[in-house]
Amino acid sequence: MDHDEALSALHAGDLVEAIVKPAEDANGWMLVFVTKSRDQVVYGGHTGSEKVYHTLDQATELAREIGFHKIRVEEEF
């Protein structure tokens, strides 16, 4: 999901949650949105390709800029 799609989907009520979790194939964090149907969609920035953020702060700040007030952080131990 690219940036404009995320903004539109959130304002239309189609996205219900933002999750920041460790990237699967890289060292960093990825931003994932949860839809009303409980599907998870990876945020792809302005290009649409999966983005990896170096810090947790970068990923959570982006979710706030898009419009999420609560962001869940998942960490694996």
- CA nearest to 5, candidates 66, 57, 52: 66
**Mean pLDDT, residues 11-17 taken together:** 97
User: Is residue 74 over pLDDT 90?
Assistant: yes
Question: What is the pLDDT confidence band of residue 8, given thresholds at 50, 70 and 90?
Answer: very high
Note the pLDDT of residue 45: 77
Domain of 25 in residue numbering reads as 3-73
What does pTM read for this prediction?
Answer: 0.89
- Distance from C-alpha of 11 to C-alpha of 27, rounded to nearest angstrom: 31
User: Is residue 13 over pLDDT 80?
Assistant: yes
Q: How many domains are contained in the chain?
A: 1
Kindly report, residue by residue over 27-70, the tens digit of the pLDDT.
Answer: 999 999 999 999 999 998 777 678 899 999 999 999 999 999 99
